[in-house]
């Protein structure tokens, strides 16, 4: 493999591809000015930043630059999310949501999920709301865990898994225009208990949420892929993997019970996390074989 193709890390190719994809979307979708110009300018800065960091790191090979590259990728996911919000189109039909909410009512009411969660009063709902808050910290905390375990060399593999799952979800948003159940069906099927943590989550969603789509669930895809990454890449710290998986499961349940997502969103997010992990495992296996000279890159 030539030096030119070794310039970027595997997860950086995913970021490059995604921001090129959104640049095309900005030109194709009927967006109001100056959104297309803003998207193209921001994407040019993002791609330039990736190229600059990769080139600088290739010249100096300093740990500081390598760590900056580690943290640059997660910060770009925030921009990727905001850009998808700018791509929102007028949404008048609720055909998808009406079908999804019927499945949720079956799960919550007929199959008794709500009763199980609320068996201890506000304790269960409070735990789920707290878990939901931690979805934003799962990837940074996982990276910190790799550092503390002196396994920073495994961070790129983790970021490949995590970035692939999250960006696949974002890339699908324009094709499934939808609004969350708390927005479409205010007051319907809401949790019995109103906790302070629920009020905090609702305030965050109302101020920071986008109106492009909720399908698939980026919360579930991101949480599950982070958990799978920790379990795979830190096998010597099994308790860490189990803790991340337990938190991811709580987040997935919270998305449906708290009415932030439909169960269809959560299942699709889980499917994408599993698929992204399978691709990651395959990629790592091919990379190891290539490094041993058994496979031509």
Q: Say which residues have a Cβ less than 8 Å from residue 139's Cβ, sequence separation at least 6.
A: 74, 162, 222, 226
| 18-33: average pLDDT | 95
pTM to 2 decimal places: 0.92
Instruction: Report the pLDDT value the prediction gives residue 97, as an integer from 0 to 100.
Output: 95
CA distance 9 to 156: 7
User: How much of the chain exceeds pLDDT 70, in percent?
Assistant: 96
Give yes or no for residue 43 having a pLDDT over 80: yes
User: How much of the chain exceeds pLDDT 90, in percent?
Assistant: 82
CA distance 163 to 26: 21
| 259-283: average pLDDT | 97
Give yes or no for residue 2 having a pLDDT over 70: no
CA distance 216 to 218: 6
Q: Are 266 and 113 in contact (CB under 8 A)?
A: no
pLDDT tens per residue across span 64-118: 888 999 999 889 999 999 999 999 988 888 999 999 999 999 999 999 999 999 9
Instruction: Report the pLDDT value the prediction gives residue 63, as an integer from 0 to 100.
Output: 85
Instruction: Report the pLDDT value the prediction gives residue 92, as an integer from 0 to 100.
Output: 83
Instruction: Report the pLDDT value the prediction gives residue 104, as an integer from 0 to 100.
Output: 97
Q: Where are the domains of the chain?
A: 1-87, 93-291
Q: Say which residues have a Cβ less than 8 Å from residue 249's Cβ, sequence separation at least 6.
A: none
Instruction: Report the pLDDT value the prediction gives residue 5, as an integer from 0 to 100.
Output: 47
Of the ranges 18-22, 143-147, 216-220, 286-290, which one carries the lowest mean pLDDT score? 286-290
pLDDT tens per residue across span 151-182: 999 999 999 999 999 999 999 999 999 999 99
- In whole angstroms, how far apart are CA 215 and each of 9, 168, 172, 263, 278? 29, 11, 8, 10, 21
pLDDT averaged over the chain? 92
Residue 294 binned pLDDT confidence (cut-offs 50, 70, 90): low
CA distance 139 to 136: 7
Task: Kindly report whether the peptide bond that precedes residue 34 is cis, defined as omega within 30 degrees of 0.
Answer: yes
pLDDT tens per residue across span 193-237: 988 999 999 998 988 889 999 999 999 999 999 999 999 999 999
Find, among 101, 246, 262, 80, the residue nearest to 166 by Cα: 80
Token pair 């799960």: residue:
107
Concatenating the DSSP letter of every residue in 225-262 gives HHHHHHHHH-TT-HHHHHHHHHHHHHHHHHHHHTTSS-
Residue 57 binned pLDDT confidence (cut-offs 50, 70, 90): confident
């Amino acid at each position: 493999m030539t030096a030119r193709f070794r310039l970027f890390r595997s997860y950086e190719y995913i970021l490059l591809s995604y921001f090129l994809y959104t640049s095309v979307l900005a030109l194709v979708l009927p967006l109001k000015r100056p959104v297309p110009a803003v998207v193209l300018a921001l994407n040019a800065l993002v791609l330039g930043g990736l190229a600059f960091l990769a080139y600088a790191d290739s010249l100096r090979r300093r740990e500081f630059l390598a760590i900056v590259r580690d943290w640059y990728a997660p910060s770009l996911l925030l921009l990727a999310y905001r850009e998808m919000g700018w791509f929102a189109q007028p949404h008048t039909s609720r055909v998808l949501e009406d079908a999804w909410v019927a499945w949720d009512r079956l799960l919550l009411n007929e199959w008794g999920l709500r009763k199980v969660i609320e068996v201890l009063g506000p304790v269960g709902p409070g735990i789920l709301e707290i878990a939901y808050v931690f979805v934003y910290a799962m990837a940074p905390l996982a990276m910190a865990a790799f550092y503390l375990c002196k396994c920073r060399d495994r961070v790129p593999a983790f970021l490949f898994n995590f970035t692939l799952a999250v960006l696949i979800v974002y890339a699908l948003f324009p094709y499934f225009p939808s609004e969350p159940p708390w927005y479409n069906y205010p007051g319907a099927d809401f949790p019995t208990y109103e906790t302070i943590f629920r009020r905090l989550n609702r305030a965050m969603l109302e101020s920071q949420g986008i109106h492009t789509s909720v399908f698939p669930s980026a919360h579930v895809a991101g949480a599950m892929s982070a958990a799978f990454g920790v379990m795979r890449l830190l096998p010597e710290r099994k308790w860490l993997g189990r803790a991340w998986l337990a938190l991811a499961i709580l987040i997935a349940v919270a998305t449906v019970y708290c009415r932030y997502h439909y169960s269809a969103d959560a299942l699709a997010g889980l499917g994408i996390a599993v698929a992204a992990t399978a691709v990651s495992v395959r990629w790592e296996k091919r990379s190891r074989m290539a490094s041993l000279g058994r496979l031509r890159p």
